[in-house]
Amino acid sequence: MSIQNTISTWEELLETAQKKTPARRVKRPGQSPSTAPIPESLHKLPPDTAPPVLLYRDTNSWCPFCERVWFALEEKEIPFATEFIDLSNKPKWYTDLVPTTLVPAAKIEEELVYESKDILLALEEKFPHPALLPENPEENAVARQLVEEAETNGFRNISYKFLREAPTDANELANLQAEFEAKLDEFEQALAKYPGPYFVSTFSLVDITYSPHLDRLAANLPVYRGYHIKGNPRFPRLNAWFDALNQRPAYHRVKSDNITNNLLLRRRWGAEPISNSLPLDAADSENIQYRAEAAERLSDNREVAIADVIKNSGVQALAADGDFTTVKDAVDFHLRQLADYLIHGNGETLPGGRTGGKNSSVDPIFAAVGAIAFAYLRNRICAPRDMSAGAATAFRAAIDKLLASVY
Ligand SMILES: N[C@@H](CCC(=O)N[C@@H](CS)C(=O)NCC(=O)O)C(=O)O
C-alpha cells in the first residue's frame, strides 16, 4: 500500500471535521485573505438583504482598532459585511473615501464613519440593543468618559515605548517599566470602582476599547520584555478582567492568539524576542471544537494551503530534477496527516511517512518536506485571519506533536 493511502482523503477529512464543528468561513478564491469569517448574526437577515453595516478592515486582521469594532458588532449581533483593505497598498477609492485613510471605517446604514471610537459610538446610537453603555445616566457618563480617555491618557504610547523601544541602559528600561506599571495601577483602581469584573457594572465599550491592546501586551511583554501581566499579583483586578473577557463567545471570535501577536511584533517592528513564546494553552490545544475547526479550515482551504507551502516554504529545493510531483505528494500527505491528527488525536496516524511497523524506514526527503511544511505553517497561520485563536492554538499544538515524530 502506498504511503499516501494510509490516511483519509481530503473529502473524508472535511466531512468528518464538519460533523464535529459548526465553524465555517467563506472562501475568497484568488483574494487576500483567502477566507473570511461569517458574522454570527448573518443568518438573522432575511434572504437577499444587504447587511446594515459594512466594515472596512485590514487584510491580515492585525489591527487592534478594527478588532474593537468587530468585537462590538459581534456582541451586539449586528449583521455586517466586510471589505478588506491591504494596508501596504491602499486602493485609491479607499483613500478618497476615508479622510484619515486609516482602518477601520464603516458604512452604517450608508453613512460613513471612521475612527474606531466614533464607529463604536455610532453603532451604539443606531443599534441600542443589546446596550454596550450602561443605562444608568451617571454610569453612562463615566463609561463615555473612560472611552474618551482611552484615546488621550497616554496608555498606548507608554506601553508601546516599554514594549518596543530599545533602551540603551537598564535604568532607562526600569523607568519605562515603572511608567507602564503606574498606568496598569490606574486600571486596577478604575476596575475597583464598580461591582463585577468590568470597568463599569456591565460589560461595555470601555472593555471593548481596551481589550485588543491589553491582549497584545499580555502576549508580547513576556516574550519581548520578560514581563508578565497575566498571573502578576500586582494586578488582580486586571487578571479577573481577562478571565471575564474569556467567558464571552464574541471575544473568542475576534481575538488573536499569543503566537500571532508575537510574530506580528517581530515581523512588523523587527522586535527581538528575549525568551520563548508562552506555552500553548493546553485547554485550547485539546479542545475538540477547536481541533475540528482547525481541521475543517485546513481541509476546506487545502488548495490554497498546499500552493502556499510549495511556493513559499522552500520545499521546492527538495524536488529531484525539477520534478515537483513527489514534493507535492509529500506536502499533501503531511497536511492530511495533520488534519487527521487534529480530528482523531493520538494513535491514528503514522508519523513521518513511515510505511508501518516497528522498524519501518523513513524516506528522508519525504520527511524533510513534511518537516518544512509543518514548520512553515506553524508560523504562517494567523488568527483570526485564517481561523479563530483557539483553533490556531490547537493547530500549532498539533504541528508540534507531529514535528516531534517526523524522524
Ligand atoms: N485612531 C484610529 C487609529 C487607526 C489606525 O491606526 N489604523 C492603522 C492600522 S492598526 C492603519 O490604518 N494604518 C495604515 C496607515 O497608517 O496607513 C482609530 O481608532 O481608528
Short-list 378, 158, 339, CA closest to 257 = 378
Q: Above 70 in pLDDT, residue 330?
A: yes
Q: Above 90 in pLDDT, residue 167?
A: no
* Residues whose CB is less than 8 angstroms from the CB of residue 60 and which lie 6 or more positions away in sequence, other chains included: 33, 87, 382, 385
Residue 384 burial class via C-beta count within 10 angstroms: exposed 0-12, middle 13-18, buried 19 and up: buried
* Closest ligand 1 atom to Cα of 104: 20
Q: How confident is the model at residue 1 (pLDDT cuts 50, 70, 90)?
A: very low
State percent of the chain over pLDDT 70.
95
CA of 114 to the centre of ligand 1 (A): 10
Q: Above 50 in pLDDT, residue 127?
A: yes
Shared domain check, 229 and 171:
yes
Whole-structure pTM value: 0.94
Which of 57, 65, 119 gets mutated to test ligand 1 (max ligand atoms within 8 A of its CB)?
A: 65
Got the DSSP string for 378-391? HHH--TTTTS-HHH
pLDDT at residue 350, rounded to an integer: 52
CA of 219 to the centre of ligand 1 (A): 21
What's the CATH number where 220 sits?
A: 1.20.1050.10
The tally of domains found in the chain comes to 3
* Closest ligand 1 atom to Cα of 85: 12
DSSP-derived letter for residue 194 is: S
Shared domain check, 157 and 64:
no
Shared domain check, 97 and 142:
no
Shared domain check, 150 and 100:
no
Q: Above 60 in pLDDT, residue 66?
A: yes
Task: Using the 3D structure, point to which of 72, 102, 126 is the last residue of a domain.
Answer: 126
* Closest ligand 1 atom to Cα of 62: 10
Range of the domain at 308: 3-12+282-403
Shared domain check, 217 and 153:
yes
CA separation for the pair 116, 65 (Å, rounded): 6
- The binding-site residues of ligand 1, defined as CB within 6 angstroms of any ligand atom, are 58, 63, 65, 87, 101-104, 115-117
CA of 184 to the centre of ligand 1 (A): 24
What's the CATH number where 62 sits?
A: 3.40.30.10
* Cell numbers at 315, concatenated: 520545499
CA separation for the pair 254, 257 (Å, rounded): 10
